[in-house]
Structure 1
Amino acid sequence: MKIGILTFHHIDNYGATLQACALWIFLNSQGYDVEIIDYRPLKISWIYFRPLIPLKRLGKVFVNIPRAWKMRQFLLSNVKLSDRKFYDKKGLQYYNDKYDVVICGSDQIWCLDSFRGYNSSFFLDFINKQTTRKISYAASFGNTLKLGDYQKEIYALIGQFQTILVRDSNSLKIIKDQCNQEATKVLDPTFLIKYEALLEPPKIKDKYLLLYTQAEIGAEEEDFIKSLATNQNLIIISVGRDHKLAQINLEGAGPKEWIGLHSQASYIVTNTFHGTVFSIIFQRPFNVFVPSDKSNKVTDLLTDLGLENRIFSDKLKSQILNKEIFDIDYEPVSRILESKIGESKKYLVEAIS
């Protein structure tokens, strides 16, 4: 059986890269002939990779080529991409009937409120429904609440899916209320695989607090991080971007380094979904600053696993001095997670077959 995956795989983002790899690795382990359709919409590619083009400003060069190169090498080393790559929707018609099954997802491929906007390709409009089975896995509308002007078109496209598996309760609600279809909530594909062979252990000897952020953090949040690191005698390492709080900045870290840093951290602070996911995978003490545009997916995941108390709060701040902040009982979390992983794998394999 030949399977194509359509997702965000070509962008300079750890979470997007790892979810794409994880889905491919899991399906490959099940014996399927699977590849990621190498579709790179120019609008997305330009926005993500424009900062990587060397630009001389005030005598400085703003570039992060090392991370982009490591991201690309990680992808090419761990997944199979389609032979052809396309930068526009028209080219995708080549894959109209080349697969037995096409899976869209994971990630926020259905979010209408981001800079990416609406792209019908991620609803598989180029796939012939007569010859190819259309399914989604852990697809998400992100912070989109209403389909608006696109409701009628999305309604018709979603109606062609044999199985709809989504990542969060908001997406579940949209599919039911605005598309009149049934969907099932599953885990992000990063939960479906193990990472021993994919991580690079950090060379840092000191105990550290790992800071992984995308959105900016406020003064109160900065004070919390500084107090926690000082009280627990942790150095601060920022991965993925430079941060003034950090003693060590690893802006150019590749995915293997990123995974390894999460696996060994004494504490993790993040405001991202996948930073939260990998804190849980490696059973690290952590907390999350939840930005408004990530509240759906982050809060949804933490609620499902009984970890809502890891969201930044006054109560969490009060636990710094007595070390209660490090006390996470992962035994019940593991039981819930093990059950959900089994269910997610089952739903995906059944959807394919």
Structure 2
Amino acid sequence: YIVGSDQVWNPTHIGGYNPAYYLEFAEASSKRISYAASLGTDYIAAKYRNEMEQALKAFTAISVRERSVQTGISELARKSVEVVLDPTLLLDRDDYDEIKVKSKYKGPYILLYSIEKNPELMDFANKISVALGMPILQRRPSNGLINQMEPFYTSDAGEFLGHIESASYVITNSFHGTVFSVLYGKPFVSMLHTDTGKRTEDLLKDLGLSSHILHDIKDFNNFDMFKLDNIEETKDNIMSLRERSMSFLKESLGI
């Protein structure tokens, strides 16, 4: 049995400690594997440490998505823990192109993809919109945006990919907004999510793209921050991490 990946061990998202996400239903003789399991944060909630410790000791192999929790999980489980890629990065852009739908929005535009209410993110998007003379596309209308397009609300996965591909620039505080900006080679800036930004920070560090993190809008001074200058180097970094991640899966499964 395999459990993974996006925030499956985040008690805020799964209603506390949920034994299903720790494979407690599995037979004692079966393999229990975690692939890129994520806590979403950079700490382990003290309230659930004892239950997690008992469950993790029964795992055959453990991997996590965030480097920031690798040591903590390893100490609880009393076994080595690998850091592997989020599953979305095990596929290439060509794979996603098979489901991608061409965006109905005509460019150029700035895609703002936010998963929390963040006035500073809005202010930054407005600043870039004015500087470039481009409108802003996002999921829902906002009184805080001065030049916004018709929102896309609940686009499916293929349509969402199309919006990213057609964007001239991407501004996001979403981990997966960052992932697909990288895969599609889009100029982007990530402002870290208040509670779960560590996962984005870890990923961009591993990919050599930490310069795309904007901690404070006062720190933005030129558009070079958006640029993906070394796309081939980024692809090489992804490939290296992908090979390591696949090796973990194969070794854990014995194939």
TM-score, normalised to structure 1, is 0.66
For 1:115 and 1:346, how far apart are their aligned partners in 2? 29
Matched, 1:185 2:88: no
Matched, 1:327 2:230: no
Cα distance change, pair 174–113 in 1 and its aligned pair in 2 (3 A): farther
For 1:189 and 1:348, how far apart are their aligned partners in 2? 11
Shift of 1:315: 6.8
Matched, 1:351 2:224: no
- Aligned partner of 1:129 in structure 2 is 28
- Aligned partner of 1:230 in structure 2 is 130
RMSD between superposed Cα atoms in Å: 1.8
Q: Is the 8 A contact 1:243 1:249 kept in 2?
A: no
Q: Is the 8 A contact 1:139 1:165 kept in 2?
A: yes
Cα distance change, pair 279–163 in 1 and its aligned pair in 2 (3 A): same
- Aligned partner of 2:6 in structure 1 is 107
Cα distance change, pair 111–150 in 1 and its aligned pair in 2 (3 A): same
- Aligned partner of 2:203 in structure 1 is 301
Shift of 1:259: 1.3
Structure 1 gaps of 5+ residues are 1-101
Shift of 1:221: 3.0
For 2:137 and 2:103, how far apart are their aligned partners in 1? 11
3-state secondary structure, aligned to 1:328: coil
- Aligned partner of 1:318 in structure 2 is 221
Report 1:253-268 matches (<5 A): 253-268=155-170
Shift of 1:264: 2.1
- Aligned partner of 1:164 in structure 2 is 62
Between the two structures, name the one with larger relative contact order (CA 8 Å, sep ≥ 6): 2
For 1:344 and 1:242, how far apart are their aligned partners in 2? 39
Number of residue pairs matched by the alignment: 246
For 2:141 and 2:170, how far apart are their aligned partners in 1? 16
Structure 2 gaps of 5+ residues are none
Cα distance change, pair 136–214 in 1 and its aligned pair in 2 (3 A): same
Cα distance change, pair 336–316 in 1 and its aligned pair in 2 (3 A): farther
For 2:3 and 2:84, how far apart are their aligned partners in 1? 14
For 1:335 and 1:252, how far apart are their aligned partners in 2? 33
Of the three residues 115, 140, 155, the one matched with 2:53 is 155
Q: Is the 8 A contact 1:242 1:250 kept in 2?
A: no
Question: Percent identity between the aligned chains?
Answer: 31
Q: Partner letter of residue 128 of structure 1? A: E
Shift of 1:243: 2.9
Q: Partner letter of residue 111 of structure 1? A: N
Shift of 1:265: 1.2
Q: Is the 8 A contact 2:170 2:189 kept in 1?
A: yes
- Aligned partner of 1:118 in structure 2 is 17
Q: Partner letter of residue 61 of structure 2? A: T
3-state secondary structure, aligned to 2:97: coil
